[in-house]
Structure 1
Amino acid sequence: MDRISELSDDLLIKILLLIPTKVAVSTSILSKRWEYLWMWLPRLEYGHRRCSEPESEKLRCFLERNLPLHRASVIESFRLEMCNSRFKPESINTWVVVALSHCLRELDILYEPYPAKPNILPSNLYTSKSLVILKLDGEILLDVPRMVSLPSLKTLKLQSVRYLYDESLQRLLSNCPILEDLVVKLRGYGDTMQKLTVVVPSLQSLSLFIPYSHEIAEYVIETPSLKYFKLVDYSDNDHYGLIENMPYLIEAYVDCCCPDIYSLINSITYVKRLTICSEAILDRLVTLVFNQLEHLAVCLCTVLFSNQLVQLLNASSKLKRLDISLMDDHDPHQDMDYWKEPSTVPDCLLSSLQSLSWSAYTGEPQERVILVYILKHALHLKTATIESSESVVPTFEMLKELALSSRASTACQLMFE
């Protein structure tokens, strides 16, 4: 007998957990000692996005034959990736039921059959006492029964799933008493949800994605314990949003095409870190104050960038760090408004700003005048990091011009990348 086979079952199982489930299963042919060891694995992951038809059929047969025989008393995680028609909804439901019977802690399903055929998961999924993490992605229809109880669920991630009714999501959420982390990514074309409601007193992190093609009419968010909020709203459909105050919010990420986000901004005034990109005119922002804001990241892509920056700086008297960049997958706007120098210097430039970072800097006049203004008035600035993009302005000339510009802070270190 080889030396590794002399190790205890517990140790061998830990070794098998270091390799993909498919490889772990293949060790069963090594010897009788290894034949059933994989059946004690507490973490199982089957399938992948590019699984061929023959592979999928082989996997389906394997799961139907072997999963009911699994021996682990607790399955810590069960992940399925199924992207073709070989995987039937009734088979998937059977596998989920089996996994749930082993005190399942985490369930992660990606289901994208072709042609599309939504799957309704078994009702006992919604009454699991052990489930802590639930992630569903793709052609899954959320038909939430009247009897719902998920007392241990802390993380819920729903990506591009379908909802039987507008009320389905909130019915699920209202029966997750300790839910802390929620991600909802709505579908594009074909999604019938008109009203999205998220009312969860325990929630600490919320990420909501509304695609361009989604015709949402209204969303309501009431999450008084929230610490992190991300809203990506690209819908061009006229819709209403009601967001209650979030007094414990620490960080917010807002990427929004809505013409009026005043109520949204009003609900996140307690944040310490804010990332924002918006087509909205923020003139009414003068009535708001970000009392706690220390880190502001602003996207360069909108024509209103310069106007928004002034409004945000005026509202943020305790700002310590300012990042100017392009958000992921955002393109620079070619017709940015020219900078209108504020009548009074924002308080944060005079009293608190210590760090400035500008990525994708072009050196064009619209950008240069803003950067020079900040350097000229930021009394306590310690570092200014400029990362250039491809530009008609030579990097050397750009650097020389900035290096010779007036700086209010003698301690400011100008770095060029």
Structure 2
Amino acid sequence: MFLMDRISDLPDTLLLRVLSLLPSAKDVVATMVLSKRWEFLWLSVPRLVFDDQDIETYAAQDIIVWMRAANNFTVDEMIIEIDSSSCASPVILPKFLYTECTMLVTLKLNSVILADFSSPIDDNVTLFTVRVPSLKRLVLHTSENRDRDDSDGFVINAPCLEYFNIIDHKGGFCVIENDMPNVVEAYVDVTHSHPRMILGSITSVKRLYLCLSNSKDLYPDDTLFHRLVHLTLCTCETEWLNLLVSMLRDSPSLRALKLEQYHGLPAHHLRASWNEPSSVPVCLLSSLETLEWVNYEGTEEEKEVVGFMFRNGSCLKKVAISSKSNDCNKKLEMIKELTWSIRRSPTCQLAFD
């Protein structure tokens, strides 16, 4: 008790700092029973984390209580991570969470049910709207158990966003109401027929992962990703080579490129076709230093892509290729072909696994 009294005598600023380091909101709120000195102290903590790992202990109502209380006091950062994909019953979240909270900084939602969201224009269109001016990190993963519906979509207004992660293989569109000029890292894995608005609003991105089923109308004309230095492209879709050409052309500062098949190929997968660009992208002549290719198969199209990179990559320092095949003879043939490829950069080193 003597020790607790000594702790209670510390200034509020120091106690709040201690509370902000606790791992979850549950731990923070639990301190209110220590003494009258602590009863309302948690309401002024500047950082509150809700952790759903022990989901049976919580309910959506708990989040509402904490958020509304925090919104009336001095919380300046709230992190909420909800993953209902492993729960027996889905978590239903209130609209307040993603439209009214003024201090929410990080929002991660995986397979949750969001209450009261629909289109005011068309009853057949379902919209999930995120309008949080303070939001800096947004992660949206739709449930794989849902049926695909092209009338389902997202509307996002988060002008301060710095990290954006969206995986949506079931919806039809994503509308960005305002540009997001502060985004430095993005992960975009969608089957939307028109991803134009997503990519057009994150041109400030420095690190970007892309897996898109459509390579047409990717972003507005004259769009340039001036700050993009690290690009990862998934090679599972038929259109990925067209996407590669577009991104190389419009990323003049690109330094690192990674190609990898992250998803399984569909049963009737059509092989991608390679159309060599009529002009060499600026990044190949002035900035691209590394090329990493995971699950390389050595198809004619893939060999043409690597050859194009070797012939035009003035600044290439390292090309690392790992084969998808376990056939030793096939891998040896790949090594021979790659080794004898003409290289524009005299310092380019080839690593093959």
Give the TM-score category using the shorter length: 0.7 to 0.9
Give the aligned residue type for 1:315: D
Pair 1:157 & 2:81 matched: yes
Partners of 1:122 and 1:380 in 2: CA distance:
51
Secondary structure of residue in 2 paired with 1:394: helix
Give the aligned residue type for 1:255: D
Structure 1 match to 2:334: 398
- Largest Rg, 1 or 2: 1
Secondary structure of residue in 2 paired with 1:232: strand
Of 98, 108, 111, which residue of structure 1 is paired with 2:51?
108
Partners of 2:278 and 2:318 in 1: CA distance:
25
Partners of 2:55 and 2:105 in 1: CA distance:
27
Cα pair distance change 1:240/1:208, threshold 3 Å: closer
Pair 1:292 & 2:227 matched: yes
| Cα shift at 1:294 | 1.1
Cα pair distance change 1:219/1:73, threshold 3 Å: closer
Of 350, 359, 372, which residue of structure 1 is paired with 2:285?
350
Secondary structure of residue in 2 paired with 1:120: helix
Give the aligned residue type for 1:331: G
| Cα shift at 1:149 | 3.3
Cα pair distance change 1:157/1:119, threshold 3 Å: closer
Structure 1 match to 2:121: none
Cα pair distance change 1:306/1:395, threshold 3 Å: same
| 8 A contact 2:284–2:313 mirrored in 1 | yes
Structure 1 match to 2:343: 407
Of 158, 166, 181, which residue of structure 1 is paired with 2:106?
181
User: What is the total number of aligned residue pairs between the two structures?
Assistant: 308
Cα pair distance change 1:218/1:123, threshold 3 Å: closer
Structure 2 match to 1:125: 66
| 8 A contact 1:169–1:197 mirrored in 2 | no
Secondary structure of residue in 2 paired with 1:197: strand
Give the aligned residue type for 1:398: M
| 8 A contact 1:303–1:337 mirrored in 2 | yes
Q: Which has the higher contact order (CA 8 A, sep 6+)?
A: 2
Partners of 1:276 and 1:221 in 2: CA distance:
19
Cα pair distance change 1:246/1:218, threshold 3 Å: same
Pair 1:331 & 2:255 matched: no
Partners of 1:74 and 1:317 in 2: CA distance:
42
Partners of 1:98 and 1:109 in 2: CA distance:
22
Secondary structure of residue in 1 paired with 2:245: helix
| 8 A contact 2:49–2:78 mirrored in 1 | no
Structure 2 match to 1:306: 241
| 8 A contact 1:205–1:226 mirrored in 2 | yes
| 8 A contact 1:376–1:407 mirrored in 2 | yes
Of 378, 385, 389, which residue of structure 1 is paired with 2:320?
385
| 8 A contact 1:249–1:270 mirrored in 2 | yes
What residue ranges of structure 2 are gaps of 5+ in the alignment? 5-14, 43-47, 85-89, 118-125
Secondary structure of residue in 2 paired with 1:296: strand
Of 131, 141, 152, which residue of structure 2 is paired with 1:217?
152
Output the TM-score relative to the length of structure 1: 0.64
Partners of 1:390 and 1:370 in 2: CA distance:
18
1:4-403 matches, within 5 Å, as 76-78=22-24, 103=41, 106-110=49-53, 120-121=61-62, 124-129=65-70, 149=72, 151-152=74-75, 153-160=77-84, 162-163=91-92, 167-171=95-99, 174-177=100-103, 179-187=104-112, 193=117, 194-212=126-144, 213=146, 217-235=152-170, 237-283=171-217, 285=219, 287-327=222-262, 330-332=263-265, 334-390=269-325, 394-403=330-339
| 8 A contact 1:300–1:324 mirrored in 2 | yes
| Cα shift at 1:187 | 3.3
Cα pair distance change 1:243/1:184, threshold 3 Å: farther
Output the TM-score relative to the length of structure 2: 0.75
Partners of 1:260 and 1:73 in 2: CA distance:
45
| Cα shift at 1:335 | 2.5
| Cα shift at 1:326 | 2.4
| 8 A contact 1:306–1:336 mirrored in 2 | no
| 8 A contact 1:294–1:319 mirrored in 2 | yes
Secondary structure of residue in 2 paired with 1:291: coil
**Cα RMSD (Å):** 3.4
| 8 A contact 2:60–2:92 mirrored in 1 | no
Give the % identical residues. Answer: 28
What residue ranges of structure 1 are gaps of 5+ in the alignment? 1-7, 11-41, 43-71, 81-93, 130-147
Alignment deviations for residues 189-224 of structure 1 (CA, whole Å, 9 cap, x no partner): x98743322222222221111224165733221222
Partners of 2:64 and 2:222 in 1: CA distance:
49
| Cα shift at 1:77 | 4.0
